[in-house]
């Protein structure tokens, strides 16, 4: 085969490969852009709301007062660091940028600007434990 014809054929093959790669990008993009929704998790914890006021877990924190029990995510709404509960001051604080949240989940100080996620809490029949549903 003449060198020019060979070069032309090689160039054509490269173009086909490039077009193939570009076309493949779309399914890869669609595949990776999809997020499978998390399966809800039910976590049972020993917690008596009449004698305990808060309980810290890895991903959430449970609070209670005489009228209700609620659970808040410990994920900071700014950049996702894990919040600490400062019991004395009665607020949650982010160790990364010091955003603060009230125990009801409202923003007290930025840079975070969204309130914390609430999780559903149910009191179990034994009255000594609760179930937190993580979604």
Please identify which residue in 4, 5, 23, 32 interacts with another protein, judged by CB under 8 A. 32
Decide if 77 contacts 116 (C-beta within 8 A).
yes
Cα(124)–Cα(128) distance, integer angstroms: 7
d(CA 120, CA 68): 12
Question: Binding another protein by CB under 8 A: which of 45, 52, 91, 97?
Answer: 97
Q: Which of 33, 50, 51, 67 binds another protein (CB under 8 A)?
A: 33
- Please tell me whether residue 114 adopts helix, strand or coil conformation: coil
Q: Which of 8, 9, 42, 82 binds another protein (CB under 8 A)?
A: 82
Select 79 or 124, whichever has its Cβ closest to another protein.
79
Q: Read off the tokens for 77.
A: 């709404």
Q: Which of 9, 15, 95, 114 binds another protein (CB under 8 A)?
A: 95
User: 73 is written with which tokens?
Assistant: 């995510």
Q: How many residues bind another protein (CB under 8 A)?
A: 23
The footprint of another protein on residues 101-120 (CB under 8 A) is 111
3-state secondary structure (DSSP) of residue 26: helix
Give yes or no for residue 23 binding another protein (CB under 8 A).
no
d(CA 117, CA 100): 14
* Interacting residue ranges for another protein, rule: CB under 8 A: 29, 32-36, 38, 56, 75, 78-82, 84-86, 93, 95-98, 111
């Amino acid at each position: 085969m003449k060198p020019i014809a060979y070069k032309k054929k090689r160039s054509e093959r490269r173009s086909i490969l490039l077009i193939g790669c570009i076309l493949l990008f779309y399914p890869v993009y669609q595949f990776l852009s999809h997020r499978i929704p998390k399966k809800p998790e039910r976590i049972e914890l020993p917690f008596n709301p009449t004698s305990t006021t808060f309980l810290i877990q890895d991903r959430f924190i449970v609070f209670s007062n005489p009228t209700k029990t609620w659970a808040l995510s410990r994920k900071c709404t700014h950049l996702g660091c894990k919040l600490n509960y400062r019991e004395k001051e009665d607020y949650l604080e982010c160790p990364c940028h010091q955003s603060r949240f009230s125990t009801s989940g409202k923003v007290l100080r930025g840079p975070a600007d969204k309130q914390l996620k609430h999780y559903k809490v149910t009191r179990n029949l034994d009255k000594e434990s609760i179930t937190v549903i993580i979604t």
